[in-house]
Amino acid sequence: MNLAPASKAKSSRFRSGDRRQAVKKPKINTKKLYLRAVRDAFVKLNPGYAIKNPVMFLVWLGTILTLVFTIDPNLFTPAQENNPQLLYGLLTVILLLTVWLANFAEALAEGMGKAQADGLRSRNLQTTAKKLAPDGTIFAVPSTSLRQNDTVYLVAGDIIPADGKIIMGVASVDESAITGQTIPILKESGSDVTDSVIGGTRIISDELIVRITSDPGKGFIDQMIALLEGKKRSKTPNETTLTIFLAVLGLVCLLSVATLPVFAYYVENPITVPILIALLVAVMPTTISGLLSAVGIAGMNRVVQCNVIATSGQAVEICSDVNTLILDKTGTITLGNRLAEEFIPINGHSLEEMAHIALAASIFDDTPEGKSIIRLAQRHGAKFDYDANQSVKVEFTEENQISGTNLPGGREARKGAVGAIKEFIRLCNGQAPPELNAVYERISHQGGTPLAVCLDQEIYGVIYLKDIIKPGIQERFQQLHRMGINTIMLTGDNLITASVIAQEIGVNEFIAEATPEDKVNVIHRQQAAGAVVAMTGDGTNDAPALTKANVGIVMNTGTQAAKEAADIIDLDSDPTKLIDIISITKQLLATRGVLTAFSLANDIAKYFAIIPLIITSANLQSLNFMNLSSANSAVLSTLIYNALIIPALIPLALRGVQLKYLKSNQLLQRHILIYALGGLIVPFIAIRLIDMLIAATEWV
């Protein structure tokens, strides 16, 4: 195995000129989709399934009762109509159609998700993997036989068999099958942000050794398929609350309609049971009840299309209430791998001397940052002249901010934050040179990270580590501010560097030299002040904060610990993906809201259309301002409209209402005004037209 380094060409998904793309939508067979939805709509007529929707279950029961009266119109009392079987038969058909159309809307939304899932599943076919045994032997096994902690060897052209972590090698990986991103991503071991790979993606250059991190059926693609197919779907708190509200409203309508026979008997105009059922269905909120599940399913489908994996619908819906976004800088706002840009010798030392000490301090550092320092030092002719077997690696920690090498003879080569190195040489009875602060400030003002390099008590120079801000970040932060979201950047960088980055990207606040504890404390302070907090990060040190936030969003380039702590995984590794998630969530909630407003306004209009003509002996004819032809025609017209409005609104339920980057109260006012007024006006026009058609055909 020759694990040679890959080309040094930058291959980030955030290169200048790149554009993020959604998951490639597989071509959907529309005819097959609709035929499956038609079939599933009949399957959902099963009473065990129908009872999950209380309002539509009442319609389902009403359909059975009207069918009984169609068979025997005089079951309890003599029918009042001249031709009751025709009227009752029409009522039965319309009620059945109402339930079926509601089922069709839900089945169509599910079918669209399943079609996308089938497209993803086709990319997740079984492949052959090169499993690496502990003795170094390589043997071919089916990808489905791989388990967590197995090790595989991959070369250019291989499909990565399962999600994993790179433990050796550097390679370019094509992730377009999953993320739609056409530019290859450079993956390498030793990095917190580029050492994870996704099953189903392809190695396009060089070779890797990967440790598998997920068992079969638990990878990224499997999670996306499960979300699209609704296997993990459960009602969100908002959806549950609305379902309970509609159920209570349906019960109120049922009790109200149940009192009408007494009033009708008093005015000597008895109402038959089928007509009472028709009235109940007309005044219940059947429109929103029939479309509620379709709206929720379609919303989650849009979330998955946004290249997001969510642990639950609840996690997604919470995003609509987020008013504070806290972001880690490195790997989130910036590309993640800071690279050595320049050596700046100080204290009278030459560039070659500084490069020699920088190499010695970094020789065991296998992070991308450390490797870049080694490469830069070697370009300046530096060599490691010490016995590696007698040298000891000094690990970097968040507490001391220093790493390096204990060399033979008791010498100590170190590199780290300038303040930490100052403290280190002070303990060694050394003194920082006066030009150190000037170099430190110059690099920091450029938005870079300065690392001081020392040998024992003497500082040799400063390494300029360059951070690259992801393109397009500034515009996205402006959108967040227009949505009323406060942004806070947390970084371990010094105050000057942090302020330069914060000003460039446009965050509201920033906290420099932040520790993992600081991140958690900031979240607690924001939550104590009443904020709903989203935390975006990627590193292991972000995991505690991701857990404490109301919503934790982790980059796809993040560590396994961060992914396990988060609620949402962003496959595009876009720190402002929250904008898209909030937009989808607000669209979902707004769609529910406008359909609810439209449905309730419809009920008011239908009530005034049908009541005056049902109680014909109560001198309510003066309220027949719609001039409907008869009581039976009014009932049929209202029920036909009640049924047909469901398929008319299916496109809106699946697509969602048009959404702009506005605050929640502005969106609510805008949509309620349009749809509530529309819900009052449309039924009067539609019912009148249907009544004219019925009167012309003389059905009843």
CB 111 within 8 A of CB 653: no
Residue type, 221: I
User: Is 365 part of any known ligand binding site?
Assistant: yes
What confidence score (pLDDT) does residue 455 get?
92
What confidence score (pLDDT) does residue 15 get?
33
Q: What is the mean pLDDT of each run of 10 residues along the chain (700 residues)?
A: 45 35 53 89 91 92 92 67 79 94 91 76 71 85 85 87 84 73 71 70 86 79 70 68 89 86 71 86 90 86 78 76 81 69 92 93 86 91 88 84 91 91 88 90 86 92 83 78 84 80 83 83 91 83 85 78 82 73 81 88 81 55 66 86 93 82 64 81 89 76
What are the CA-CA distances from residue 359 to residues 70, 240, 371 (Å)? 91, 60, 10
| Residue 653: its H or E element | helix 631-655
What confidence score (pLDDT) does residue 659 get?
67
What confidence score (pLDDT) does residue 10 get?
36
Burial class (CB in 10 A: 0-12, 13-18, 19+), 475: exposed
pTM: 0.67
Give the number of other Cβ atoms within 10 Å of residue 343's Cβ: 24
Give dist(CA 509, CA 487) in Å, integer: 6
User: Is 415 part of any known ligand binding site?
Assistant: yes
Give dist(CA 365, CA 371) in Å, integer: 7
φ/ψ of 562, rounded to 5, equals -65, -40
CB 628 within 8 A of CB 691: yes
Strands (E), 291-418: 308-310, 324-328, 339-345, 392-394, 402-406, 412-417
Give dist(CA 279, CA 259) in Å, integer: 12
Residues β-bridged to residue 132: 138
Length of the chain: 700
What is the Cα 151 distance to its own chain's centre?
A: 30
Structure tokens at 317: 């819906």
CA dihedral 188, 192, 194, 196 (to 10 degrees): 90
> Which residues are catalytic, by number?
328
* First CA to last CA distance, the chain: 84
| Sign of the C-alpha dihedral computed for residues 419, 422, 428 and 429 taken in this order | negative
What confidence score (pLDDT) does residue 6 get?
42
CB 328 within 8 A of CB 537: yes
What confidence score (pLDDT) does residue 177 get?
63
What confidence score (pLDDT) does residue 99 get?
95
Place of tokens 């638990």: 218
- What value does the CA radius of gyration of the chain take, rounded to a whole number of Å? 33
| Sign of the C-alpha dihedral computed for residues 80, 82, 87 and 88 taken in this order | positive
User: Is 215 part of any known ligand binding site?
Assistant: no
What confidence score (pLDDT) does residue 16 get?
32
